[in-house]
Chains A and B, each alone.
Chain A
Amino acid sequence: MTQNKKNIFAKLSGRQIFIPIAALLLLAVFNLILDPSFYKIALSVNSAGDPVLSGYLITILDYGSELAILAIGMTLVTAASGGQDISVGAAIAIGGSVILRVLCGTDSRPEVLKAPIIAAFLVSCVVCMLFGAFNGVLVAGFKIQPMVATLILFTAGRSIAAWINNNELPVISDQSFGYFGGFIPGIPIPTPFFIAVICMIVMALALKFTNLGLYTQAVGINAGSSRLNGLNPAFIKFLAFVILGLCVAVASLIKVSRISSINYSVIAKDIEMDAILAVALGGNSLSGGKFNMAASILGAYVIQFLTTTLYKFNVKSDALSAYKAIVVIALVVLSAPVVREKFSSLWKKMKLHTKEVG
């Protein structure tokens, strides 16, 4: 019986998705012990008079969604290029700025929208994909390390975003624009969750019916040998950055819709850290190669769980990054090959020891 139990545990811990699940359970138990009211979900009425669900868990589902969308793109970029894109936060500022620019035109307080929301979103998609392509060209074409290449957009992005709207802060009064980041009347579940689910389904279909996943992993594991096998590593890296650009556009729609406006220096601040953390927490190697999309997405929600827990204990939003940095360091130290080897040799020694004693 004990043998059987051990086997199940060993099987589970060998799986990649075990890491985010374990982290989730740890956080869940921690919250349950300290304050069970964390899990309370109430049906209340919002300012527009519609019934909506509220509670910490709903907040996690809500705010974790754009992170999950970003994690999808970030996983692909990480797997293909062996580096991360640190410009996603700045790119969200650009995407959001473009959406508002198209919707408002030159008037910063429009009574009616100047263009349909879908058109604004499509323009934003194109712009974000162009910026993704810019990163992709630098990484795949000029062979610059991804993080340094994306550092360019990381610095310039928020400036460009401010420049697009002439440094004005447009406010949209139209109610329907708020649906994407809030609630659609009559549906008590936050819309960003549905958007995230749509993205996940699209990605799952793409991974199932195309060779995207296989090729990406091949390029990430060994670009040279994948080239010898007839793949074009530069193009696949480029494609990963463009897909991330698309994810950024979707996330930026949710972000600007939440407040119906934009704040260039605050919007999606530090989100690059969260996105990288989600990929790392999903057990994906940060130096490229194999990836597990489901684990990354679950990782994103776990990160949001952590953020919400920290907020609940009155941690200021500026100080959050210090705690998260500790989590990142702990994660990378634990997953470092050197440390793993040490642990496994220690484990073996202990096993031998117990056998001798037994």
Chain B
Amino acid sequence: MALFNKSSAAQKQLQKKSISDTNLLLSITIIVFFVMYIGAIVFQGSGFLKAQTFFNILNANAALIIASCGLSIVMITGSIDISVGGVTALVSMCCAVYLDYQGGNVFVSLLIALAIGLGYGLVQGLLIAYLDIQPFIVSLAGMFFARGMTTIVHTNPFNVENKAFVALKETRVIIPGLGSVNKIGKYVDAYVEIGVIVALLIVVILFLVLKWTKLGRSFYAVGGNRQSALMLGINVKRTRFLAHLFCGVLAGIGGYVYFLHVGSGAASHASGMEMNAIASAIIGGTLLTGGVGNIIGTLFGVLSLSTIQNIVSSAGLDQAWWTGITIAAMLCLFLVIQSIVMARKNRSS
């Protein structure tokens, strides 16, 4: 409750200065994240002060960051895609089966992941943009298809033992100067996995694309108002198609990063990931109605979400149901905030 008061107070303060929607929602997110993290340090002890705790959050959520970025682009154009979790499961299962049964090399498995993502992006983009079918129905079917296909490819969960892959999975990028001394007095370096580097690179690239390229700006234009975008001479259908293509490819990459993190294939992988991705994008200030959003916000959305999960589990409420309920409650809160912001905006204009 305290969180809500603080964020709504900040919201009022900021609104007086009349800043743009994107910045307003972004600042709410960043404030919420810092309040939450400081709260965690104060109430949960010094565990959260260690740099490694923060890096562990990144390590565990690199795939989610990538998938949420793709989803944010789609949401900025006013569409939605809930198949990302299914695609992640399908990618990790296909790669796992290929690496273990065919004994193939790691590079080809990466190509498989990209191909699955690209295929998803192409088909869903075509159906949504050119045939004008509701995005939710298409991606719902996409999600069920991916989940079903995953069990058809292989039923039982298993670990990958391919040597080259395990070596890649174990690769750690050490961050100098942020290590900590552990219980037996030995200095341990802080590290991140390769996936985090990929995720941060993608965040930076997409931020630049959305901010300074023609394509990036046309995503916003199409999401803001399709009719006026059309009158501005933007190819609306192609833009929507490209947004879904981006999302599909990013879901493929995200799936591979997830696979790299867990190193196994299972039909139950990444269950509920689509929900977390949508929640992150919404918490990060992307409006469901389109036209407003920010990749940096999405990054903070993922971080807020996983921080709250960490708080919940370290508070001893680690039964599986608490996570689901907290995420849903947070999503609900932010949806309502968005709805209020939009209603005020409509009234003032």
Contact = CB atoms under 8 A, between A and B. Distances in A.
A326 B127 CA distance: 13
Contact of B151 (A147, A318, A328): A318
Interface in B55-105: 80, 82
A324 interface: yes
Given A148-B80, A148-B335, A336-B133, A276 B140 contact: yes
A51 B319 CA distance: 45
A151 B144 contact: no
B145 A142 contact: no
B140 A86 contact: yes
B244 to A, nearest CB: 14
Interface string A301-324: 000000000000000101111111
B324 A321 contact: no
A147 to B, nearest CB: 5
A138 interface: yes
Given A287-B134, A332-B138, A336-B131, A163 B148 contact: no
A59 interface: no
B321 A162 contact: yes
A286 interface: yes
Interface in A127-155: 138, 142-145, 147-149, 151-155
B337 to A, nearest CB: 10
Interface hub of B136, B149, B320 (most chain A Cβ within 10 A): B136
A158 interface: yes
User: When A and B form their complex, which 8 residue pairs have the shortest distance between CB atoms, in order from nearest?
Assistant: A322-B148, A159-B321, A156-B328, A159-B324, A325-B145, A321-B144, A318-B151, A142-B339
A286 B272 CA distance: 24
25 contacts: A83-B136, A84-B136, A138-B335, A142-B339, A144-B288, A151-B275, A156-B325, A158-B324, A159-B320, A159-B323, A160-B325, A162-B321, A273-B140, A276-B140, A286-B137, A322-B144, A322-B145, A322-B147, A322-B149, A322-B151, A328-B141, A332-B127, A332-B133, A338-B130, A338-B132
B272 A167 contact: no
Contacts of B332: 138, 152
A333 B124 CA distance: 11
B213 to A, nearest CB: 28
Interface residues of B, number: 43
Decide if the interface of chain B is mainly helix, strand, loop or mixed.
helix
A159 B325 contact: yes
B325 A319 contact: no
Contacts of B132: 336-338
A270 interface: yes
Contacts of B152: 319, 322
Nearest to A164: B321
Contact of B329 (A138, A143, A156, A163): A156
Contact of B137 (A155, A160, A319, A328): A328
A339 interface: yes
Nearest to A143: B339
B267 interface: yes
Contacts of B147: 318, 321-322
B339 A155 contact: no
A73 B140 CA distance: 20
A83 to B, nearest CB: 7
A352 interface: no
B263 interface: no
B327 A155 contact: yes
A142 to B, nearest CB: 4
Most buried by B among A151, A152, A323: A151
Interface in A276-303: 276, 280, 286-287
A229 B323 CA distance: 45
Given A148-B288, A156-B325, A333-B133, A167 B140 contact: no
Given A145-B288, A167-B321, A273-B140, A325 B148 contact: yes
B264 to A, nearest CB: 17
A338 B275 CA distance: 31
Nearest to B329: A156
Interface string B279-308: 000000000100000000000000000000
B81 to A, nearest CB: 12
A270 B275 CA distance: 16
A333 B325 CA distance: 36
Interface string B155-183: 10000000000000000000000000000
Given A142-B336, A143-B339, A144-B335, A332 B137 contact: yes
A160 B319 CA distance: 12
A45 interface: no
A329 interface: yes
Residue of A145, A147, A321, A339 contacting most chain B CB atoms (<10 Å): A321
A273 B321 contact: no
Nearest to B282: A148
A86 B140 CA distance: 10
B131 A270 contact: no
Contact of A325 (B133, B142, B329): B142
A151 B278 contact: yes
A332 B137 CA distance: 8
Contacts of A155: 272, 275, 324, 327-328, 331
Interface string A37-80: 00000000000000000000000000000000000000000000
Interface string A248-265: 000000000000000000
B156 to A, nearest CB: 11
Contacts of A326: 141, 145
A224 B247 CA distance: 34
B322 interface: yes
A124 B296 CA distance: 43
Contacts of A316: 151, 155
Contacts of A145: 80, 136, 288
B335 A149 contact: yes
Contacts of B133: 332-333, 336
